[in-house]
Amino acid sequence: MSIAMKKIILGLCLVIIAFGATGCGTLTARVNQKDVHYPAFYPGVRQDLIDMHAPKSDTVGSGTRALAAFDIPFSAFADTFLLPLDALFYFFDR
């Protein structure tokens, strides 16, 4: 295997790890739906903004806020990818 191929594989692995580690806004918004029948559009970005502006407590600290700020572009990408599914649920599952 050539060095260029190894660099490509390493880059893909890093991108996959980044998406897995930072996709928490999108996943959290879709899994924790206690009060809402189904979240409206872009729930991952909304969850990240909620996490960024949450009062400091035992579970929300400066690290959580930094991760939420870092996660916003990844959540926006994932939410855009899931937008057709969100539209189906929003308009037809009421």
Q: What is the pLDDT of residues 12-31, one digit of tens each?
A: 887 777 666 655 777 777 77
Q: Which residues of the chain have pLDDT under 70?
A: 18-23, 33-39, 57-62, 93-94
Number of domains in the chain: 1
Residue 24: which residues within 8 A CB-CB, separation 6 or more? 67, 71
Boundaries of domain holding 87: 3-92
pLDDT of res. 64: 74
Q: How far is CA 87 from CA 27, 32, 43, 56, 57, in A?
A: 17, 19, 12, 34, 34
Residue 50: which residues within 8 A CB-CB, separation 6 or more? none
The 10 Å Cβ neighbour count of residue 81 is 10
